[in-house]
A and B are shown apart, each in its own frame.
Chain A
Amino acid sequence: MRYLFSLAILLTVLWLGISGVYKPPLFVLGGCSVVFVVWLSRRMDVVGVEHNPVLYSWRLPVYWLWLLWQIVKSNIDVARAALSPDKLVRPRVVKVPMKLGSAVGKVTYANSVTLTPGTVTLLLEEDHLEVHALLESSAASLESGEMERKIAWLENHK
């Protein structure tokens, strides 16, 4: 029930944010759509399935800021490599061990690795990632395991 309410509130905010035309007939239509989508989601049994307490933690925005900083740094590295590929480009496949337990943690890790330019996840296994790294620096930052520690920190909040 809690999830149904939070879904309805989220959808209402989304509708208000996107619509831009605030007239009574449209409010009725918007309200009907919200109710319809909540009813559909309940029938599909998807309400609350993806619920993750991390979403309500203050650590998530901190992680996003840190990830943004990593993305900016690696963007500059790859952009520099684009100007002199002969000197800087050292593509290789790196096997990165991973201790993260939960499925969400693993996916977050794989997605964050792919999101930073210079590294693309090729394969996500139980206990390791296979990553294609473009530069020496991108492979080195991956092997330092800093990103994995950040995600473990993100997940270990209580």
Chain B
Amino acid sequence: MVETMLAVISGIFLLTGGIFGILGGIGLLRFPDFYSRLHAAGITDTLCAFLIIIGLVIQAGLALVSIKLMLILIFMVFTAPTASHALARAGLAAGDDPATLESEPMEIAPLGSRGEPPSNS
């Protein structure tokens, strides 16, 4: 009885996580520019990963595997924003200005190491 319930709960977590993963992928394809797409990737980094790992922990129960899964979760929480930030900075450094939907280029404070945009002559 308890086992069936745990299986169902973990299944719900895994399924919701999978759905969020797919939604993140859809966003990645449909959002207009580089910086917006970063946000879609953020879904798969956070809620999708959280739900899948929690679902797996429920399935594993009180075991060493659960400790390892929680460690994976902790490492993801600390590394995912660093990676997103590094990508955003790389985009700025490559001269890709974040544009609004009205395609007004926004004013961005110059970065010390900001490279010239690729020449479009």
Contact B39 A71 (CB under 8 A): no
Contact B106 A115 (CB under 8 A): no
A120 to B77, CA, bound (A): 14
B64 is an interface residue with CB less than 8 A from chain A: yes
Q: Mark B28-67, 1 if CB is under 8 A from A, else 0.
A: 0011110110111011011100100000000000001001
Which of B47, B89, B92 counts the most chain A CB atoms within 10 A? B47
Q: A117-B39, A120-B39, A121-B88 are in contact. Are A81 and B27 (CB under 8 A)?
A: yes
Residues of B within 8 A of A89 (CB): 31-32, 36, 101
| B32 CB to nearest A CB, Å | 7
Residues of B within 8 A of A112 (CB): 81
Residues of B within 8 A of A17 (CB): 64, 67-68, 71
Q: A17-B64, A18-B68 are in contact. Are A75 and B43 (CB under 8 A)?
A: yes
Q: Mark B83-121, 1 if CB is under 8 A from A, else 0.
A: 011001100100000111100001011010000000000
Give the total of A residues in contact with B, Cβ under 8 Å. 35
B12 is an interface residue with CB less than 8 A from chain A: no
A115 to B32, CA, bound (A): 21
Contact B98 A91 (CB under 8 A): yes
Contact B80 A82 (CB under 8 A): no
Contact B81 A111 (CB under 8 A): yes
Contact A93 B26 (CB under 8 A): no
10 closest cross-chain pairs (CB), A and B: A82-B27, A114-B81, A117-B42, A75-B47, A79-B23, A17-B67, A134-B39, A93-B106, A20-B64, A111-B81
Q: Would you mind naming 29 contact pairs between A and B with Cβ atoms under 8 Å apart?
A: A17-B64, A78-B43, A82-B27, A83-B23, A85-B27, A85-B32, A89-B31, A89-B36, A91-B99, A91-B100, A91-B101, A92-B106, A93-B106, A111-B81, A112-B81, A114-B81, A114-B84, A115-B81, A118-B42, A119-B39, A120-B35, A120-B39, A121-B85, A121-B88, A122-B88, A122-B92, A123-B108, A130-B109, A134-B39
